[in-house]
Structure 1
Amino acid sequence: MINYFKDMGDAIINTNLKSLLENKSFMMILLGQGISNIGDAFQFIASTTMLVKVTGSGLSAIIGIILSQLPSLLLSPFAGYLGDRFKAKYVCVIMDIVRGGIALLFIGHSSSEKLYLLLFLLSMLDIVYNPAKRKLIICVVKERELLFTNSLMMGVSGIAFLIGPILAGFAVVNLGADIAFYVNCFSYVLSAALILIVKSKNIHDYTGRVKSNKFGGVLSDIKGGIKYFFSVPEIKNLIILSTVICSTGASINIAFFPFVFDTLKITEKQWGLMISVFNGTNFLAMFLAFVLNKKINKRMDVYIIISVITISWIWFFYSITKNLNFILALQFFEGTILAFCSILIGTKLQSSINKNYMARVMSIGDVINNAGRIMGVFLAYLLLGSFAESSVFLLNSILLFSFVFYKVLKY
């Protein structure tokens, strides 16, 4: 009997994964994401190294990058409306084409003001793009395939960010920063072409789709999404946990930039290697989710808690070392666990949301998560004015661990 259930479980895994890999629409989305992620890696390496040279400080560069994105958060509620009102496929295609044009505008601009402005424009487009893309994915896959879907998306992203930053580091050093923006533009255009191949007949038109083009209808729809969000406790709890991770993670990232650029004095090639190590672990997280699939489905909450506690301890170890090799090892484990945790939270969240409200709820989550990031940036900035980067690592490690410990005791 035990062997029977084991064989049945293996059959379900193989069937779900096989059907997902045979889904041409999903595969086009998956391939498009991988290509655009490579372009994003080139753009990130080029823009950050340019800003470090212009501002003369790793701290100034990363704070400027993050602050340049904040005003665009006002678009999040409308981005959710667009994702639910119009066919997500065409929203994604238009945003990809426009992003490709913005990427070309980076060429020849070396002043910090112009760079921050272009990053702000890209951030605005990303905020419109992301809810639509997540809605598009939900519309072309089955609910039982969500864990594999999120795992594959994370794995492809990992491959892209494993290859992209290293190539970008060499390209920027040998060919100049402009080559990175040409690559970024091409990646967006190719992504748009692949999304166009997604067949509309696979995209379900849910009854909750908004049908009014009036501005009053837009506001009413946004309010409806907010009301639904607050009516489902499980969704609220998942978003709050995600926000705490985003807030503490943003604070860690703010401290990490001056830590590696100003304290460790790393080169562009070393920076590309570090980004590759951190983001490339997404691929390992994909396999981890595949291997633990059956256990995860039974006790997903437990795996999420264990993952978050592990992340808090990794951040603690950042606070007590300046050894580059050890830091690379920590990045490897941090990237793997963060990606694994993201897969679990994303899967549980998508399973909990009514598809009629998918884009709107995701956009609300973006607003709350980014508000948490602002708090994390502000906290890190205050601390770095008087203390070393290690204090930021230590404090956020304690905050994240304390939050999870409190949640465990509460429930």
Structure 2
Amino acid sequence: MSEELRIKQATFHLYTFTVSKLISTFGSSVYAFGISLYVLALTGSAASFAINLICSILPRSILSPFAGYVADKYSKKAIVILSQIASMLAVAGLLVFVLLNGLSLTAIYTTTALLSISTMFTGVTFSSSIANLIDPDRIQRAMGFNQSAISIAAIGGPVVGGILFGFVSMNVFLVIQVTAYALAVLLESTMNFKLFTNRTEQQSDSSKNSMLKEMKEGFFYLKSNRVIMVIVTTAVGINFFFSSMMIGLPFIAVQQLQIDATHFGMIEAMIAIGMLVASIYFSVSKDVEFPLLVAKRGILAMSVLLAGMGIPLIIGMSYNVTVGYFLLLMLIFGISNVFVNTPIGVMMQKDVAEEYRGRVFGILESMAMAMMPLGYLLFGLLYDMLPAEYVVVASSLCLIALTSYLMRSSIMEEAMPSLQKI
């Protein structure tokens, strides 16, 4: 295939990938919002809601390394399509069950767990495929488009879900999700997942190695690459300490500052809006010259913003000023989040060897997701035991110390040798 034709096909991938991501993510967002409201309406129990959340997180934490192994060993296109079809069948199965037997918590939990597994295979495989679908010069743009699709779904999904919840039955939510997955499958079937592959037949033929051996090789590769290992370790730390924000934001804003639920919804939406703004910026700007440095600054900015959540508890503010303060805080937080994720994502797409990319992304997702339940539990207890401003400030200081150590000058210069010339 000529280079000109490959570039044209990569352009097609750029937009097809974005539309596919937007459709499936938007459908998932509507479904997740709707299913949460139906669980609460059905049981009136926060514990039931928490169980559904665990069913979503736990399978991803356990099986992500296996998904990475599968993505490295088998056809990425087949995995993406089959996992999307599996997601579609899982939701369709719940729809049939509801039509025959009515809504059941057990059915919802089972579907949530199955969806968690199937979407995890889709996510890990897609993450390890971007450099195969898009030419190297436009990987940052692809990452920006990808993040934009996620942000739009995060903003619009709950809005559409809230509207539908008031007017339609649970069945409509499920039909929307099935339709979204079906459309995504049609789009993904047109994509060439080997367009920019560098793997030889010898590298691809690993049938002589056992699954356990190849998964261990992924860990050894990660351990041997100090820069990538630092990125993974930092990501784990970020997910853990920012669990304090996920728990603390509603606790501080709603419980302690008595912010109205409508205004709090606007505050949470500002995170997605900030992410959308930053994603658009990355999709049109030139590649970041020093991605790890940009990511480090982004993490430090997010750490300061985390501590800033406690300021209204220390300094008396009027209600309107408090709401405006949190709106601005979360907007900047969303922007900073993308300034961390996008440069790091582009760097990993380019620097991780293709034959290990799936396993590295699988390990990253597993370790990061595993920290979330632990963080939720720990910080949930801390907010009950200590003043909230102490918890957010301590979390901020710990994250600043962790980032400063893991991303110290020697690591930065090893990852970006040209940084020494500045």
Secondary structure of 2:205 counterpart? coil
1:132-151 Cα offsets, whole Å, 9 max, x none, are 11233221112232222211
State the alpha-carbon separation in 2 of the partners of residues 398 and 225 from structure 1: 33
Deviation, structure 1 residue 395: 3.2
Corresponding residue number in structure 2 for 1:12 = none
1:284 maps to 2:272: no
Deviation, structure 1 residue 221: 1.4
State the alpha-carbon separation in 1 of the partners of residues 59 and 131 from structure 2: 28
Deviation, structure 1 residue 112: 4.7
Aligned 1:159-308 pairs, distance under 5 A: 159-199=152-192, 202=195, 204=197, 206-207=199-200, 209-213=203-207, 217-257=210-250, 264=258, 267=261, 273-290=266-283, 293=286, 296-297=288-289, 299-308=290-299
Corresponding residue number in structure 2 for 1:61 = 49
Corresponding residue number in structure 1 for 2:28 = 40
Deviation, structure 1 residue 371: 2.7
Secondary structure of 1:224 counterpart? helix
Whether contact under 8 Å (1:45, 1:272) holds in the other structure is no
Corresponding residue number in structure 1 for 2:69 = 81
Whether contact under 8 Å (2:31, 2:174) holds in the other structure is yes
1:318-360 Cα offsets, whole Å, 9 max, x none, are 2233844432332222112112211011111222201111111
State the alpha-carbon separation in 1 of the partners of residues 48 and 324 from structure 2: 26
Secondary structure of 2:312 counterpart? coil
Aligned 1:125-144 pairs, distance under 5 A: 125-144=118-137
Q: 1:238 to 1:85 in 2, by over 3 A?
A: same
State the alpha-carbon separation in 2 of the partners of residues 60 and 319 from structure 1: 30
Corresponding residue number in structure 2 for 1:321 = 312
Deviation, structure 1 residue 113: 4.6
1:346 maps to 2:350: no
Q: 1:328 to 1:174 in 2, by over 3 A?
A: farther
Corresponding residue number in structure 2 for 1:382 = 381
State the alpha-carbon separation in 2 of the partners of residues 126 and 95 from structure 1: 7
Deviation, structure 1 residue 381: 2.9
Secondary structure of 2:311 counterpart? coil
Deviation, structure 1 residue 50: 3.1
Q: CA RMSD in A?
A: 3.1
Whether contact under 8 Å (1:77, 1:360) holds in the other structure is yes
TM-score (norm 2): 0.81
State the alpha-carbon separation in 1 of the partners of residues 282 and 9 from structure 2: 16
Corresponding residue number in structure 1 for 2:329 = 330
Corresponding residue number in structure 2 for 1:3 = none
State the alpha-carbon separation in 2 of the partners of residues 303 and 98 from structure 1: 38
* Bigger mean CA deviation after superposition, 245-254 or 200-209: 200-209
State the alpha-carbon separation in 2 of the partners of residues 169 and 301 from structure 1: 39
Secondary structure of 1:206 counterpart? coil
Deviation, structure 1 residue 86: 1.4
State the alpha-carbon separation in 2 of the partners of residues 195 and 80 from structure 1: 19
Q: 1:110 to 1:252 in 2, by over 3 A?
A: farther
Q: 1:130 to 1:357 in 2, by over 3 A?
A: same
1:10-56 Cα offsets, whole Å, 9 max, x none, are xxxxxx9xx58962133222210011111121022213333444564
Q: Runs of 5+ in structure 1 lacking a partner?
A: 1-15
Q: 1:252 to 1:305 in 2, by over 3 A?
A: same
Q: 1:356 to 1:213 in 2, by over 3 A?
A: closer
1:310 maps to 2:304: no
State the alpha-carbon separation in 2 of the partners of residues 392 and 59 from structure 1: 24
TM-score (norm 1): 0.83
State the alpha-carbon separation in 2 of the partners of residues 144 and 175 from structure 1: 45
AA of the residue aligned to 1:150: M
Corresponding residue number in structure 2 for 1:94 = 82
Deviation, structure 1 residue 81: 1.5
State the alpha-carbon separation in 2 of the partners of residues 105 and 390 from structure 1: 46
How many residue pairs were aligned? 390
Sequence identity of aligned pairs in percent? 19
Q: 1:312 to 1:224 in 2, by over 3 A?
A: same
Deviation, structure 1 residue 210: 4.5
* Bigger mean CA deviation after superposition, 39-48 or 357-366: 39-48
Q: 1:382 to 1:112 in 2, by over 3 A?
A: farther
AA of the residue aligned to 1:116: Y
Deviation, structure 1 residue 405: 3.2
Corresponding residue number in structure 1 for 2:356 = 357
